[in-house]
Amino acid sequence: MNKILYSFGIISFGIALGVTIQVLHRRGRLQLPLSIVDLRKLLQKIALLGLHPVAIVGAIWIVRIKDPGLMALPFVGFSALFAGGMLALGAARILKLEPKKTGALFCCGSFTNIGSIGALVCFIFLGEAGFALVPIYKLFEDVSYYAIGFPIARYYSGAGENGGGAAARLKGLLSDPFILTAVSSLIIGASLNLSGIERPAFYGFANAVIVPLATILLLTSIGLALRFSRIGGYLRECVSVSLIKFLMVPILIFLLARALGFGEMDDALPLKVVIILSSMPVAFNALIPPSIYDLDLDLANSCWFVTTALLILVLPLLLMTLRQI
């Protein structure tokens, strides 16, 4: 119970802090040294370029990959994102949505909050050993978003080929500082792991502070941009995405992970990580394609808020499930 309250407390605090700052600033009651947009970017850079790399290096430093079958973990992560997107397109067809709503629903079905909320839940529920597997699971996440997600979203916007072709997207992907930092963290952590150098004793305590702090900063940046608008008009879409995120994708990916033998590896730790990360809500990144490609942003915003709020029910169910494995 303490793990659930701790997880939900951090998530709620981060979002509430961002929303509070945003509202007070908009009403003129809080003066900031920089704009809301710049503050959001600063918080994201501190978390993703400063804190997260330190935590990832430290966690991978001590992880023990005993089974080569774990090399399939990134492909399982990619499969979860791909399955979510395809199921969302199927739901859009059943609901007979117009193209701009279909594109937004696809983003909500595919884009998943792995890096902030998912990583936090893995850390709290499974410790550093579980957290260390998160960057491996999400290794192809950005490739999935930029190479598949954004082009499909643009297709449903009717925007054609404006904005650069595959070569331009690939160049942007390879030069993205967030991606380069994440990959560098993996390489450094793996190198230290293989070197035989013992990790300093203080690192475990440091990660117990760094991981929640990075999550709070990321969720605060989300709260700074959050708008509660017309959620009631998208109940069908919110229900559909919730079923995809919390039922359909987790079942499919659980079966895939079991078939790959994840349940027999390291006391089923990889299977537990897969269960958690495939059951996470809509990522804030899902709001980006609807914004830049003129899709239904209110739909995406509604699905993000509803699925994130449903964590109050999902987290206890996840913990109960993990205890049965």
Give just the sign of the alpha carbon dihedral 89, 91, 96, 97: negative
Q: How many residues does the chain have?
A: 325
| The two structure tokens encoding residue 107 | 């983003």
Q: Is the pLDDT of residue 8 over 90?
A: no
Token readout for 247 is 């039922």
pLDDT digits (tens, 9 = 90+) for 233-279: 899 999 999 999 999 999 999 999 999 999 999 889 999 999 999 99
Q: Which residues pair with 112 in a beta bridge?
A: 282
Distance CA 63, CA 185 (A): 14
* Domains of the chain by start residue, with CATH: 2-323 (1.20.1530)
Please give the average per-residue pLDDT across 112-118, as a whole number: 90
- Summarised one tens digit per residue, pLDDT across range 24-57 is 998 989 999 999 888 988 998 898 889 988 988 8
Could you give the CA distance from residue 266 to residue 68 in angstroms, rounded to a whole number?
Answer: 12
pLDDT by residue (tens digit) across 189-199? 889 988 989 99
pLDDT 10s digits, 278-312: 999 999 889 878 877 888 988 998 999 999 999 99
